[in-house]
Every structure is written in structure tokens, then in C-alpha cells.
Structure 1
């Protein structure tokens, strides 16, 4: 009997405990190790402190990016934030691809102001689910109809795949005004981080291509507007000031950038990658630009606001104090404040 129990335990450990142990260590590797220095945390508000303490540093991106898409799909929605209708679609993308989008319709009747929102994730992670809670908040707070876009990601689909997808989504929206109950006042393009980069880039593309899709406003939350950190530290000191300790790190940005351009560094000044390098920034849609005080990308946001204003573009710039990058997706109080600014900015 004792021998039977012994082998029963061995079998249980082999078949059940061992796989769970392996999965546990994979998850820990995927999550990364938080880097939080006490003296730095004291500068943040309570929500940002908790976010930094519980989040992995993007310095670990080289070892964990393979798992990010899996873990991000587990991001919970907030079912308490009700909207009228949520609809998943696949639309025709570039080069015969299928582009997933999600359409959020307000409870109130249309016609609607329509926003295309592009998620953050350094061009290498994120999907419809990771931005679901935020999209619901935007609908509830603004009354806009919101379309989120699951653009293709590096390294499987490096630059310019994400740009092509973002522009395809804009043109699809323009081609379907009736089903969207679009009010015809112009599309809002918006995003955070890499998503803000795409919003800025397609605003320029729509102008240059004389697209029928009119963009009324571009809402850029901590946008990536120029090359990443190694070559940009002199231009943007915030890369070095906040190089680690606030989730988004200098090393992490370098790794994301390398994946996005597939190590083709000749692309780094391409204006479709770095919109601030565009020779002509005139006649672009009014821009609301939001920066975060403790963000490596802070100075890029400030600089882009400056160059747009000098080009004659209507610009409003605000900096959210005591928060890190990722405030729209991860810091509800900061996101709520930003949405108040959006409501004042969008006429």
C-alpha cells in the first residue's frame, strides 16, 4: 500500500505540480522584474506608485516580448462601464490582410463624432482587449463613437506595417459613414505612445495624400515623435533623467525600436517613423498633446508641441504631474483628467 501511495504521489507531482511550476517561472519571466527606487516613488502620485511597484520594467523586453501578447489578452475589461454596443469586425487591410477593429457605440442615439484610437505597446504588443477598458471610458466620458484598431506588430510585421494599417482604418471609416452614423464633422485620431505616433503620422499622410477622410483633431498622449533613446538623449534629456525606475526605460525603448525597424537603422529619420522630422508640418489638424512628468518620452511630446505651434498648427499642450508613461491605459484618475481636457478641446 505504501509503495502504491508513493508512486501515486510521484505521478501526481510529475503530471500536475511540475507543469504548474514551469508555467509559474515562465510567467515570472514574462512579467519581468519591477524596478522601483524608493526615492523615485516618492515623487509619484498614489496610482502611479502602485503601477510602478507591480509592473515589470521594459528593460526586460528582450526576454519577455514573446509572452506579452499572451498576457495582455488576459487584461480584464470593466463591465461596469456600459456602452450601447460593442462590435468586433475584420476589415480589408493592406496587401490582402484582414485588420481587426472594435467599434464602441454610445448609449445615446447618433449621429456621432467618431474617434479612431490606436493602442500603446511600443509597436510590439497590444491588441483590442488591452485597450477595451479605456475605450469604454472614452465613450462614456465624451459621447464619441470609438474605433480601436489591432494593427500589425513587430517583429512579425515591422515598420511600416502599423502605419499602413492605421491609415487603412481611417479610410475604411471614411467609406462607411452611414453604418457608423458619422456626423461628418471630421474624424478624431488618438493614441498613447506608439499609438500616438500612428495618429500623428496618419494626420500627415491624410494631408499629403489629400485623403477624403478629414481629420478634425489629433489627440497625442505621450507620443513617440522622433528616434528612440540612444541617438536622442542630447535632444531629449528625459531619456536619461528617467532611464529606469518608471516602467518604461531607455533600454526598453531601444529594444522596441530595434524590433520595429527590424534593425534597419537607415530608417530612423524617416518621417513616417519620426513625424517631427517631417519637412512641412503646416496645415495639420489641431493637436492636443499630453505629456507625463516622469516619462522618458516627456521631452519628445514637449518638442513636438513646440514645432507644430511654430508651423502654425493649433496646439494645446498639458503635462500631467507625478505620473509615468502609460497613464491612459493604467492610471484611471490621470486618464479621467485627460478626458476632461479632451472634452474641452474637441468642439
Structure 2
């Protein structure tokens, strides 16, 4: 099939049938003739086709659930990989031989890929999901979607926005076509890595926000914490040499507020449960879903050490998660840190088209 000319009559693929992947498949289904929703489990695909539900969500009539990855890739010019970051490179490696340069790929994964390393962690050991795609495939029409897009709210069709980011105008145009609804607005950004890093970093602060809620703190503390969090996101991104154009758009401030204030956020609930006395290992071992923020805390904390700087909130959450620092003591450290904190005065406006 020649993929150079995309039509809404072409089927679109969503790779990953978790809560978010299924929600995105349902959203796209309103704009195209057919969506192929891929899961690697044969029994799950068959059950979803019969029950017409996936991840506890009813499926639109034009969604086909399948485990036939080769057929999906051969028939779909646009693919949306939406799997946990730890599984992302493996999936991309698996599908690479079946992809063509004219495929369009818009991922929805909010995490970092970490390669094996000895000694000090550096930026070269990390890759965003778009960088993984470029490393492993011939595709160059690559983008991502990010924003305050909790899957439960998408299922209810609550008014919301997202951002599609890419260096390709074609990707931006097609992403907007596929995702736009009268209740769901799609913004675009050319700063792909900035959008990706915002969606990665907010998971750190969602853990912290959950801790504060679990400790019983209310709006004043929450507002103070979010103020420091957006400043620290700016600091980490500029330290890494990444643009901050997305910081006050849907993927930055928008996703930060949503993820730091919702019990539907996995990372928020991790922090909340820790504050209530549960142990990290017990929470991780009992969970069916991935807490992306745990790995992100560890990676960003180590990376800031490479740059010989400290991101105070990230460092404190790291100590709470991995060094058993008591939460109350951590908060007192945070208050002392905030006394000397400086906030950037040159924050850019959001990229909203």
C-alpha cells in the first residue's frame, strides 16, 4: 500500500490496549472508517472482540481488536504506539522491519528509555520515545501527543485539550485531523523534545503531590508545591539543554495540574499510599500498571548529579523512595530549600496554535 497520501478511509493503528491506548482508539474512531487496536495477548484480543470492551471501556463499533501485528502495520499508514516506557524500545524493535519511511508515528508514552551504562549516568544514556523511534526505524515522520488527558475523563468526554508535537507539518496536520472532537481540542507544537520532557517530568511531581495529600495538607501547600514544581521542571530542562517552549502548554502546566490533583493518576496515588504507610516495594509488586514516575525520579536525580546541580524536589522524593527518608522530615527540608529558591523571570509563553 502506498502511504504517501493519507485518507480518513485508511485504517489507523493503536499499539497498546491499556486504559490510555483504548481511550485514544475510541477518540480516533469518531474520525476514521476503522481503528485497529493491537494487544500482544491472543486471548485478550479475542475476548475484547466478543465483549466489545477493553480496559473496562466500551469500544466504538469500528474498532477491531487484534493480535496480528504484521497485518496492522501493513494496512495502517498511521500508528500510535502507547505502551509503558520500559516496553517501548522492545516494541519498536519488533515492528521496525515492517515499517516504511512514509509511515507516520505519533506516540503517547510518557517516560524515558534508559540504556545500560557503567559509572555515571549522562544524557547520552537516555532517550525520549521519539529518539527511540528514530534510532530503531527508518521512520522520520514522528510525533507525540501529551497533555492533561487522564483516560477516565476521556471516556466521559469531558472538555479537554492535548498537544501534538512534531517537526513535521504532515504529522501535525494528520494528528489534529485524527484526534479533534467538539469536546477535545488539539494544539500543535514544533518542539517535540520539549513536549516529551514535560510529560516525563510531571510524573515526579505527581508523586510528591500525592504524598502531600496523603499527609493531609490542603490548597495552600498544594499551590506552593506546584509553584516550586513548575520552576524545577524549567530548571531541569534548561540544565539538560532542552527548550522550555512547552512548559506552559497542555503538556507542561496543563498535565502537571491534572496529574498532581487526581486520584486517577497512578503516580499521584503512589505518593498518597506511601504517605499512608505502605512500602514502595509492596505497592510496585501489587500493581497491574506501571508507575513511570519511580524510574523518572531515579534517572533525573542521577542525571542532575552528573551536571553537578541539584533539583531539590526530585532529590527529596528520591530520598523518600529509595533511602527511607521520613515524609515529615522531607517536607521540612523542602520548606528550607524554598527560602533560597529563585524563580525564572524569562519563562516563554505557551505554544498554542
Q: Give the TM interval when normalised to the shorter protein.
A: under 0.3
Which structure has more relative contact order (CA 8 Å, sep 6+)? It is 1
**TM-score, normalised on structure 2?**
0.26
Structure 1 or 2, whichever has the larger Rg, is 1
Higher helix share: 2
